[in-house]
């Protein structure tokens, strides 16, 4: 897929400075137009209604797992995955320009972000650690209230958005914190290299049902990259499976495998073929 | 497993009034001794060190998905799953006794809880909706500060803990909000009815590896209840699989299936057999 640097609209969930916005700018370039929405449902609706060309959808975090709500939205909308990006989630200590580490009396952020930076934060002596509802929201508060004795833990994008300085970068304990984002659009993409393909399907809850479905791939030596089951809401004995495989859906072996899979499933949705995403360090 | 009503210690993560504490009281009876800890790691350490007999571990929420951190802790500790409970997550509007709905100027709670009650909250006219770092924390704040013009969205347990009244119960949009908890202990349990068995294993990332592993169950008509893959941290081409099957590990077919599975995996951990949990409405 071509990465555009002009006015392509991309919807994301969160406040300006959220990691989802950072993902959009990493993927589409700094000059793309990002549209902030409160809920994931709205970003899917934007693309369906043609208000935005793309939605930037977080689907999985290395520490916190999958985002099932977004799999459900993919299942319900007639949209396609056209790209993928793995964003290193890096936490930074942000403060008003001129604020020194030794002047800090308090640090604010979302409890999850505070937890991820526990080691660094406990090294600060005499500083109060305060939970706040949102990472970007904490940065905004420091800037709006002109707090020269406080700092926020948030993204570098939040620093740029609210005119804060980065006092310390990369203060998280575990540097293996990544969020995988999917780029969702109305039209299918045609990956040129490192293709992967995603499908969602349902099977009856009978012994061996999933085993038979996976035979469609195993018998053709197609590599499975991810699998996840989820009870189908409203249908107590049926299960949804989210599956990523290696390969382009237009290749002969994938065409055959997906046709075979459809014979074995009670419902099925093709989500698209796209290029395997790179890891991006913001 | 016998449910004890006397001083059995159960560790949970969160503040008093958290849903995990409610799960512990639902499972073990109101008179059990619950031990509040800040992190999931600590509740596993408590059981390993014999400080608590059990840990109450949230593993999956119907709206928000799995808690991979707890699967990782199960993988790393030599502990067993001995019970299961599905807790209906019900949100309530809590206020000081005597506060009326028409006197409310503000509502506080965790953004996720506020989002889950959006429909009810938008029906309240002229009331400010404020994000707070924690559901039980919002209830505590209302009680401590004696705020007669404000309410919190939290569990009924939080109402009991902080002396608040329930102004409205079950205000969430979607009543299919459940969290599945696992009861973890040092010693294996022997389920008497509706047994299920959990294992974690790793395979090499070669085509068909998972397919072969699942054949151990499919060839014996053993029903798969849940499957989830996760990249193994530090081993880029290996995957961990979390699998729940129907049956007791001591039954002949399970003994054979698990022996067969071990032949096909590069690492393996038996997590226990236990009774399938019931849905509990707090």
- Is there a contact between B69 and A64 if contact means CB atoms under 8 Å apart? yes
CA distance A5 to chain B (A): 33
Average pLDDT, chain A: 89
- Is there a contact between B69 and A67 if contact means CB atoms under 8 Å apart? no
For A222, the closest of B131, B205, B207 (CB atoms) is: B207
For testing the chain B interface, which of A71, A207, A231, A279 should be mutated: the one with the most B CBs within 10 Å?
A207
Other beta carbons within 10 angstroms of residue A16's beta carbon come to 15
> Between helices A252-264 and A209-218, what is the axis angle to 10°?
170
A263 located within any domain: yes
pLDDT at B245: 94
pLDDT in tens, A93-109: 999 999 999 999 999 99
- Is there a contact between B217 and A211 if contact means CB atoms under 8 Å apart? yes
Does A183 lie in the same domain as A52?
yes
User: What total of structural domains would you count in chain A?
Assistant: 3
- Cβ pairs A/B, distance under 8 A: 97
- Is there a contact between A65 and B62 if contact means CB atoms under 8 Å apart? no
Residue A3 has pLDDT above 80, yes or no: no
Does A98 lie in the same domain as A214?
no
pLDDT at B255: 97
Query: At a CB cut-off of 8 Å and minimum separation 6, what does A53 contact?
Result: A8, A9, A10, A47, A185, A186
What is the rounded average pLDDT of the residues A160-176?
90
**CA proximity to B88, closest of B2, B174, B199, B153:** B174
Does A259 lie in the same domain as A244?
yes
Decide if A122 touches B, using CB distance below 8 A.
no
pLDDT in tens, A19-73: 899 999 999 988 899 999 988 999 999 999 999 999 999 998 877 778 888 988 9
- Is there a contact between A226 and B222 if contact means CB atoms under 8 Å apart? no
Does B242 lie in the same domain as B109?
no
pLDDT at B263: 94
Decide if A253 touches B, using CB distance below 8 A.
no
Does B243 lie in the same domain as B182?
no
Decide if B184 touches A, using CB distance below 8 A.
no
Decide if B256 touches A, using CB distance below 8 A.
no
CA distance B225 to chain A (A): 8
User: What's the DSSP call for residue B16?
Assistant: T
- Is there a contact between A227 and B211 if contact means CB atoms under 8 Å apart? no
pLDDT at B232: 67
**Segments of chain B scoring below 70 in pLDDT:** 1-6, 232-238
For B214, the closest of A134, A210, A228 (CB atoms) is: A210
Residue A142 has pLDDT above 90, yes or no: yes
**Domain CATH code at residue B160:** 3.40.190.10
Q: Which residues pair with A181 in a beta bridge?
A: A58, A85
Does B232 lie in the same domain as B255?
yes
Does B99 lie in the same domain as B80?
no
Task: Show the domain range for B123.
Answer: 92-168
Distance CA A78, CA A181 (A): 18
Decide if B129 touches A, using CB distance below 8 A.
no
Rounded to 10 degrees, what is the CA torsion of A73, A76, A77, A83? 50
Please give the full DSSP string across chain A, using - where no structure is assigned: -PPP-SS-EEEEESSTT-HHHHHHHHHH-TTSEEEEESSHHHHHHHHHTTS-SEEEEEEEETTTEE-HHHHHHHHHS--EEEEEEEEE---EEEE-TT--GGG--EEEE-HHHHHHTHHHHHTSTT-EEEE-S-HHHHHHHHHHTT-TTEEEEE-HHHHHHHT-EEEES---S-TT-EEEEEEEESS-----SSEEEEEEEEEES-TTHHHHHHHHHHTTTPPEEEEEEEEPTT-TTEEEEEEEEES-TTSHHHHHHHHHHHHH-SEEEEEEEEEPPPEE--
- Whether ipTM tops 0.95, in short, is no
pLDDT at B101: 93
Tokens matching residue A206:
């009978």
A54 located within any domain: yes
What's the half-sphere exposure (Cβ side, CA atoms, 13 Å) at A47?
28
User: Of A188, A217, A243, which closes a domain?
Assistant: A188
User: Of B135, B157, B187, which closes a domain?
Assistant: B187
H-helix or E-strand spanning residue B239: strand B238-246
pLDDT at B3: 53
Nearest CA in chain B to A40: B115
User: Which position among B179, B197, B203, B265 bears the catalytic label?
Assistant: B179
Order of strands, sheet of B128-131, starting from the edge strand that comes earlier in the sequence = B128-131, B106-109, B150-154, B92-95, B165-168
By DSSP bridging, strand B54-61 and strand B9-13 are: parallel
Decide if B236 touches A, using CB distance below 8 A.
no
Least confident span in A77-81, A101-105, A230-234, B15-19:
A230-234
Is residue A107 within 8 Å of A127, Cβ to Cβ? yes
Does B99 lie in the same domain as B83?
no
- Chain A residue numbers touching B227 (CB-CB < 8 A): 210, 227-229
pLDDT in tens, B88-131: 888 999 999 999 999 999 999 987 788 788 889 989 988 998 88
Please give the sequence-ordered ranges of beta strands (E in DSSP) within B22-127, or none if there are none.
Answer: 33-37, 54-61, 65-66, 80-88, 92-95, 106-109
Decide if A223 touches B, using CB distance below 8 A.
yes
For testing the chain B interface, which of A68, A206, A237 should be mutated: the one with the most B CBs within 10 Å?
A68
Does A96 lie in the same domain as A144?
yes
> Between helices B40-48 and B68-76, what is the axis angle to 10°?
20
Distance CA A49, CA A55 (A): 12
pLDDT at B4: 47
In whole angstroms, how far apart are CA A50 and each of A11, A39, A54, A147?
Answer: 11, 17, 9, 41
pLDDT at B60: 86
- Is there a contact between B227 and A231 if contact means CB atoms under 8 Å apart? no
Does A110 lie in the same domain as A218?
no
For B229, the closest of A64, A223, A228 (CB atoms) is: A228
Does B143 lie in the same domain as B252?
no
Catalytic positions of A, please? 179, 181
pLDDT at A110: 83
pLDDT at B157: 87
Average pLDDT, chain B: 89
- Chain B residue numbers touching A179 (CB-CB < 8 A): none
**Domain CATH code at residue A242:** 3.30.70.260
């Amino acid at each position: 897929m071509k990465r555009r640097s002009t006015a392509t609209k991309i919807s994301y969930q969160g406040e300006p400075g959220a990691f989802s916005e950072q993902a959009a700018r990493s993927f589409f370039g700094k000059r793309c137009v990002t549209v902030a929405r409160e809920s994931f449902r709205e970003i899917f609706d934007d693309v369906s209604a043609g208000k935005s060309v793309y939605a930037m959808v977080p689907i999985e975090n290395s520490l916190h797992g999958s985002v099932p709500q977004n799999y459900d939205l993919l299942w319900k909308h007639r949209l396609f995955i056209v790209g993928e990006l793995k964003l290193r989630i890096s936490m930074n200590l942000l403060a008003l320009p001129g604020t020194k580490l030794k002047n800090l009396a308090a640090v604010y952020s979302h409890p999850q972000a505070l937890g991820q930076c526990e080691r660094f934060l406990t090294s600060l002596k005499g500083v109060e650690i305060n939970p706040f509802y949102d990472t970007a929201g904490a940065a905004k508060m420091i800037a709006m209230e002109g707090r020269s004795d406080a700092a926020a833990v948030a993204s570098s994008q939040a620093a740029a958005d609210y005119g804060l300085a980065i006092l310390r970068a990369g203060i998280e304990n575990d540097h293996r914190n990544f969020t995988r984002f999917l780029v969702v659009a109305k039209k299918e993409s045609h990956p040129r290299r490192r293709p992967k393909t995603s499908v969602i399907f349902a099977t009856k809850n009978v012994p061996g049902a999933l085993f038979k479905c996976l035979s469609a791939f195993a018998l053709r030596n197609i590599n499975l990259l991810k699998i996840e089951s989820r009870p189908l809401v409203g249908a107590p004995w049926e299960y949804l499976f989210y599956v990523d495989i290696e390969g382009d859906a237009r290749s002969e072996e994938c065409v055959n495998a997906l046709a075979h899979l459809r014979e074995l499933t009670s419902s099925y949705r093709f989500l698209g073929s796209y290029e395997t995403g790179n890891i991006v360090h913001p």
